[in-house]
Amino acid sequence: MKRREFIINTAAATAGVALMNKKSYSKERSVEEFMNTDSQNILIIIELFGGNDGLNTIIPYDQEDLYLELRPNLHIPKEFAIQFGDSDLFLNSGLIDGVHNGGMMNLMSTGKLAVVQGIGYDNPTLSHFRSSDIWHSGINSTDPNEKLLEGWLGRYFAKILNNYPDDIPAHPIAISLEGTIPLMLKSAKGDMGVSLQNPERFYQLGEGLTPKSLRYHTPTDSFHEREFNFIHVVAEQSEKYSQVVKEAYEKGKDKIKVNYSTGLPQKFRVISSLIAGGIQTRVFYMRLSNFDSHAQQMQYDYTGAHYTLLNNLARGICEFLDDAQQQGFADRIVGMTTSEFGRRVNDNGSRGTDHGAASMQFMFAGSDEYIEGGYYRVEGKPDLNDLDEFENLRHQYDFRRTYNDVLETWLGASPEDSRDVFGDTFLPLGILNKRASSVWEFIRPTENQDFLVYPNPSSGNLNIRFELKKYARVIIELYSTIGQRIEVFTNELLPGGNYNYNHFVYNTGEYNIAITVGNTRIIKKFIVIR
Amino acid sequence: MKRRDFLSLKLDIQKKYSDSLMSLDEYTEPLDKAAATHLLRRVTFGPTKRLIDEFTGLSVSEAVERILGNGTEALPDGYEDLNWLDTAEENPRDGLPIQIRGAIEGRHATRHGELKTWWLEQMRTEEAPFFEKLTLFWSTVWCIEFAYDTLELIPPPLLYRNNQMLRRNRIGNYRDMAFDDTLNGAMLLYQSVNFSTKDSPNENYPRELLELFTMGIGNYSEGDIREMARVLTGFRVAAHAFTPKPNGQFESYFLPDLHDIGAKTIFGETIPARDISQNSEDLVKEEEVRRMIDILFEQRPLPIAKFICTKIYNYFVYSSPGDANEQIINELAITFIQNDFELKPVFAKLFKSKHFYDENIIGCQIKTPLEFIVGLERQLKTTYKINEQPMASNACDDIEQELYNPPNVGSWKGYRSWISTKTYPLRRKYAVDILDMTNHAQLILLIKEFNYSDIDLFLNDILSYFLPKTIESDRVDFFKDILLNGISAQNWTNEVNNSSTSVTEGMRAFMSEIILSPDFHLI
């Protein structure tokens, strides 16, 4: 059986995550190579603003009767949805129809796509703006009067860049392809990133923008001085980065290997040129709007507004990943979609849907080495029979868990960093694999792995074996798949040497084992079957 | 000592404003030139020299009365410039062939463009009483998007009617604005009420009515939204040709068979069920829609007053009010309630207050794209007619403020989102374009509007014309050098009288530097 089929079938049959951590570091690579290479990692974020209808994106044909009953005017018939193999995963055909290279289905088959079902947060708000602020800030505040003024990435980058904005990095740390900087990139130190749409124009216009006058001293109580300083920094960045962006764009624009189609793909084209030209930006942000489909979301031929939007999204992602593959930077790319909420389970009679709560999320990567593709959900979820008081789907995964995959696994944050960013601990979902990790500073491989977890699946016995190179704190914790901590097995300072921990897990089911050493947290799946 | 340290030290000494902010008590002095300029910057799209002279010396009461008017003045008439205001098109979604549909959508797009330039023209040329800043403000509250779904456009005649409705209600009673906007054609289409039926009441509009247009999140339940959705079932707009238009083209109408006649309970108040014989447009409008609006104001007066006054404050005073300013907003909210939700007393109280003229409020607000572009045109006295020259309108679109096409129903985010590495370089570009369109003769005329008998007096005047606050003396010297352009200070006045090109070249160079100053983006 091919590995991909194995994953998806398991997903349908059990709890829906990739079973084994396949990462074995079997290739001959030095520890040094593993170190400090995180800086090559690039994150693409596509916000689907308005609230994407998750149920018509990934269609719940495992609950066919209920789906048809709740969506009399707005269901996608089974023959118009596209099934992945013989699994429970049915995709909206807009994600595939006419899309480059077989669309999202091809990404699924090649293990580069993860579909996360049941993503959301406690006490969901049905307001676009509040919910969007919650997603952008990474703070779930139930008090609507609490202003959310900083973003999750903004806070993380502000932590890294101590002297910002007095010292700004040589390359923009993040680029928004929209006219504005989204909340997720804002911080108390200012905007962590720049926005641009047309790199050539950006350059032509950037020259000579640095103001002749100096900034005022901070902090200041004067409103005028505060705003003056804010504008001053943007002006300085505009000039400084216009040069960097031009150089990268000029170098990279002719390296494009794919004919990008219209709409969102054109933004991907710009990103591809910049990366090909050597820009060292870590995060690219795009927004696709008009998901707020209260009316006329679908035409009678099952295409229409929502289909068109998904098609736009899929074209962008698939054209870009193929281009990246051909150009040779695919293994640096990881991407995710976000949307402030899903939509109401029952349609509203205007051939549309009202605001909902939990929904689905795509994560993708240019290389299957860095992502465990598959269908991530808790067994039997989303349950169209088990709705909240407003008849919306319940979430199983807090959205900060996939954020944390990105932060800890892809952008080099330590568990402590991510706790600072979110104000709480969220276990990464374990979708992404680290390119290289600082565990190799502390760990010598055991049978080609960092930590050997065996047997797996197990009838209850759990052994964790590893070799510590030098003195370090090691924390080993057992978590449920929905991210609740069940037990702390170990939290101690250990001298170098070989270790083998033995535990017994009583209840059958699927678990995550989180092992933290140095500043890195590694997630291992562990399954108990009897 | 570094220059920056020196400046900061100097500023610390100069810092005049006190820690406690001023109250909403009335500003009792007559308006001096600085105060008049500040007021005009906030309530118009840019003070001209003539307006500054007209308002200097007035008492705040006189000034504010002149600015706001009485609300019954004739409105600018779009029929003179826009010949399509009564032209209906077929619904592009009605299964039309793709070419025909494309042609209709093309006409809609062209007309939307013409409407934008028409509105910009009003902003650029208006005299007191001023309608346009208030109208724009209300259009950011009661937001409408021309291209509102992936495949939907609002016919521009509906946008024009929406625009006039806002202009008419700009200083009236907020309840009336809420009622008029609820049944406004563009809104019915934009917020899906046009599709709402008794079997499937649509929640889109009632949610935004509560969350964005009246009281804000946290003051209502999902149940209230659902009940309000039922009130609005059956209302439609005659948006297209070949559709029913019982009240005329582009007017709203009522389909009784689609209206839910059952009782509705909103905030605990019940609108009784109606007999089928009473299910008529007039009765449902008055007894249900107007009643529903009234219930909101009866049951949630304080949240509404605070929410709307916060929006007013953020727009006209400062977009990032700290805790100290919350007190001011509360005071304003009380005025709003005491005046039974009449808007004029609220605006009047604010614009007349000591707080509004406080030193810390001057020059703290980031110019919106419209204020930036139209303001420069007003201040440089560009003379072209915008209808013939869509540059300004395109510029505003490019720097992220396209009229009747904000990014979403929450309108533009405003404040610092206006300035980014995308928009900042473009602001400079368009400002330079506007400057380049101003010829030698126009610049000489502009200079001669001020007292140019002495270069230092002139410099003082022209700096306070374009920049919101007094600047440090080293910056003044820097600007003076550039303005003089090699002419000696003694000889400069003479050279102005001679209409010397050295003078206008100096003025251009001076303006180019002004445009590069961060404080040129502040009012």
- Residue A73 scores a pLDDT above 70: yes
| DSSP bridge pairs for A90 | A83
B16 at interface of A, judged by CB pairs closer than 8 A: no
DSSP A324: H
Domain residue spans of chain B: 369-521
What is the distance in angstroms between the CA of the first residue and the CA of the last residue of chain A?
24
Interface pTM, i.e. ipTM: 0.93
**Tens of pLDDT, residues A439-485:** 888 999 888 888 999 999 999 999 999 999 988 889 999 999 888 89
Peptide linkage before A182 cis (omega within 30 of 0):
no
- DSSP secondary structure string for all residues of B27-73: P-SPP-HHHHHHHHHHHSS---HHHHHHHTT--HHHHHHHHH--S-S
Interface touch B149/A195, C-beta < 8 Å: no
Hey, are the CB atoms on A223 and B17 less than 8 Å from each other?
no
- Residue A240's SS3 state is helix
Q: What is the pLDDT of residues A248-277, one digit of tens each?
A: 999 999 999 999 999 999 999 999 999 999
Subunit contact A290:B149, Cβ cutoff 8 A: yes
How close B232 comes to chain A (CA, Å)? 14
Q: Does B473 touch chain A (CB under 8 A)?
A: no
Kindly determine whether residue B517 and residue A126, on different chains, have CB atoms separated by under 8 Å: no
Which of B:326-355 have CB within 8 Å of A?
Answer: none
- Positive or negative torsion for Cα B193, B198, B203, B208: positive
Number of residues that this document lists for chain A: 530
Cβ–Cβ of B149/A293 closer than 8 Å? yes
Pick B469's closest partner by Cβ from A215, A224, A230: A224
Q: How far is CA A288 from CA A47, B76, B334, B410, in A?
A: 6, 37, 41, 16
Copy the structure tokens of residue A179.
């006219």
Residue whose C-alpha is closest to residue A253's, from A267, A272, A278, A266: A272
What's the pLDDT band for A147 if we cut at 50, 70, 90? confident
CB–CB of B45/B123 below 8 Å? yes
> Which position has the higher pLDDT, A30 or B152?
B152
* Inter-chain residue contact B417 with A180, CB threshold 8 Å: yes
Neighboring chain A residues of B7 at a CB cutoff of 8 Å: 214, 216
Question: pTM for this structure?
Answer: 0.84
Q: What is the pLDDT of residue B7?
A: 45
Contacts of B403 (CB under 8 A, 6+ apart): B115, B116, B119, B120, B136, B139, B370, B393, B396
Average pLDDT over residues A33-50: 73
Q: Taking CA atoms, what residue in B is nearest to A263? A: B150
On the question of pLDDT at A212 being above 90, the answer is no
If pLDDT is split at 50, 70 and 90, which confidence band does A133 have? very high
pLDDT category, A23, cuts 50, 70, 90?
very low
By residue count, chain B amounts to: 523
Residue type, A442: F
How far does the CA of residue A227 sit from the closest CA of chain B (Å)?
A: 6
Is A234 close to B366, i.e. CB distance below 8 A?
A: no
Q: Which residues of A touch B420 (CB under 8 A)?
A: 176, 179-181, 191, 194-195, 234
Nearest CA in chain A to B519: A228
Distance to chain A for B136, nearest Cα, Å: 21
Residues 6+ apart with CB under 8 A from B163: B115, B119, B135, B139, B404
From the list A129, A215, A235, the residue facing B410 with the nearest CB is A129
Q: Using CA atoms, how far apart are residues B73 and B117, in angstroms rounded to an integer? A: 22
- Residues of chain A with Cβ-Cβ distance to B17 below 8 Å are 222
What tens digit of pLDDT does each residue of A375-402 get? 999 988 999 999 998 899 999 999 999 9
User: A130 vs B217: CB contact, 8 Å cut-off?
Assistant: yes
pLDDT value at residue A530 = 87
Of the candidates B222, B360, B409, the beta carbon closest to that of A223 is on B360
Task: Dump the DSSP string for A475-488.
Answer: EEEEEETTS-EEEE
Question: Which of B187, B215, B421, B422 has the most A C-beta neighbours within 10 Å, making it the best mutation to test the interface with A?
Answer: B421
Query: Which amino acid is present at B447?
Result: I
CB–CB of B5 and A217 under 8 A?
yes
Residues of B in contact with A144 (CB under 8 A): 216-218
The pairing of strands A113-120 and A397-398 is: parallel
Parts of chain B with a pLDDT under 50: 1-20
Amino acid at B188: L
Please state, in angstroms and rounded to a whole number, the distance separating the CA atoms of residues A332 and A44. Answer: 11
- State what percent of residues in chain A have pLDDT above 90: 66
Closest residue, chain B, to A130 (C-alpha): B217
Interface-testing mutation among A129, A180, A310, with chain B (most B C-beta atoms within 10 A): A180
Pairing type for strands A374-376 and A113-120 reads parallel
Closest alpha carbon within chain B to A149: B320
User: Which domains are delineated in chain A?
Assistant: 36-207+241-422 (3.40.720), 438-528 (2.60.40.2550)
Q: Which of B150, B416, B519 has its CB closest to that of A309?
A: B150
Residue in chain A closest to B475 (alpha carbons) equals A213
Please determine, for residue A513, whether its predicted confidence score (pLDDT) is greater than 50. Answer: yes
Residue of B nearest to A196 (CA): B422
| Contact: B409, A128; criterion CB under 8 Å | yes
Give the distance from residue A194's alpha carbon to the nearest chain B alpha carbon, in angstroms: 6
Judging by DSSP bridges, how do beta strands A174-176 and A194-195 pair with one another? parallel
CA distances from B153 to A42, A348, B85, B190, B263 (A): 37, 21, 16, 9, 34
Q: Is A412 left (phi over 0), alpha (psi -120 to 50) or beta?
A: left
Q: Report the amino acid identity of residue A78.
A: K
CB spacing of A222 vs B318 below 8 angstroms: no
A contact test, residue of B20, B21, B149 with most A CBs within 10 A? B149
Q: Which residues pair with B252 in a beta bridge?
A: B237
